[in-house]
Amino acid sequence: MEVSGIYIYPIKSLGAVTAQEWEVNRNGFKYDRKWMLIDECHRFLSQREHAEMTLLAVEIKKDTLWVYHKRKPELNISIPIETPDNQPITVQIWNDECKAIPYNQEYNKWFSDILKQKCTLVKMPDTTQRKVDTLYAFENETVNFSDGYPFMLIGSASLEKLNTMLHTEVDMLQFRPSIVIKTNIPFVEDSFLEFKINQISFRVAKPCARCVVPSINLLDGSKNPEILEVLSSFRKQNNKILFGQNLLHNGLGKIRIGYKIER
């Protein structure tokens, strides 16, 4: 087995950046979920409530993030990667609270106009250490603004199996993986406990329980309920639909397409 896909999501719930090679730091992939949009109560915004977010694509260009609307590319904005010189605020991701730095109004207005809701773009400073749920952590691991874990792994054969059962195929990115590996056996990743990629150690924390997000079409934001209906017919446990594995890691370095999975 080898790495066949690497994906980074700089702004939580917005589009993916596809990479051939990427750096792993203490919180996961560099820049992954380093930014987030929050509402007036400082709670994170998600595709779960705002499907329009899936239509906002993100690219990393040197020292900026470039965000544009897939269906209206004339709607775009360039955002400096450098942390703003503003006072930190407390933000909420699920039951977690942590400190983040807000961007200035010119950036917030752009997102607010697109999403038709007042919101603020924030960045996690390096001084913030948001810990992984202690029920699943091994060594007090930390994470950026991901739902809970630095990485999520899916085997290619698992998606292929699902697509044989659907009328319309689902794109891998609708499941928002960090790492995709080339596999021949569907759901072989369910058997993983520990493995290495380029001497970086990974441990499975728990299977990934699925919400409505995988049903959202990447091209137009529409929802296809068939995806979760079919998954629930054979991937439901304890009233949760499971697809993919949440990972924790130990080590720094780079991961590249083609790197072997060492078990």
240 band by pLDDT with thresholds 50, 70 and 90: very high
Pull the structure tokens for residue 207: 């299977």
pLDDT at 244: 98
What does the pLDDT look like over 199-234, one tens digit per residue? 999 999 999 999 999 999 999 999 999 999 999 999
Tell me how crowded residue 234 is: count the other CB atoms within 10 A of its CB: 11
| DSSP code of residue 81 | S
pLDDT at 184: 97
Mean pLDDT of 119-126: 97
Q: What's the CA gap between 261 and 263, in Å, rounded? A: 6
pLDDT at 248: 98
Q: Distance of CA 84 to CAs 87, 88, 107, Å?
A: 9, 10, 11
What is the enclosing helix (H) or strand (E) of 159? Answer: helix 156-163
Pull the structure tokens for residue 240: 């949760």
CATH 3.40.50 fits domain 2-27+132-256 = no
Neighbouring residues of 219: CB distance < 8 A, sequence distance ≥ 6: 70
pLDDT at 226: 97
Burial class (CB in 10 A: 0-12, 13-18, 19+), 93: buried
Q: What's the CA gap between 113 and 133, in Å, rounded? A: 34
pLDDT at 176: 98
pLDDT at 70: 96
Instruction: For the chain, give the percent of residues with pLDDT over 70.
Output: 100
- Start-end ranges of CATH 2.40.33 in the chain? 2-27+132-256
Instruction: Determine the 3-state secondary structure of 188 from DSSP.
Output: helix
Total count of residues recorded for the chain: 263
DSSP 111-135: HHHHHTS--EEEE--TT--EEPPTT
pLDDT at 94: 95
What does the pLDDT look like over 75-119, one tens digit per residue? 999 999 999 999 999 999 999 999 999 999 999 999 999 999 999
pTM, two decimals, is: 0.96
Q: What's the CA gap between 103 and 72, in Å, rounded? A: 24
Share the mean pLDDT of the chain: 97
Neighbouring residues of 238: CB distance < 8 A, sequence distance ≥ 6: none
Q: What's the CA gap between 245 and 183, in Å, rounded? A: 14
Mean pLDDT of 163-190: 98
What does the pLDDT look like over 139-149, one tens digit per residue? 999 999 999 99
Task: Write phi, then psi, for 50 (nearest 5 degrees).
Answer: -130, 80
Q: 44, 121 in Cβ contact below 8 A?
A: no
Distance of CA 70 to the CA centre of its chain: 18
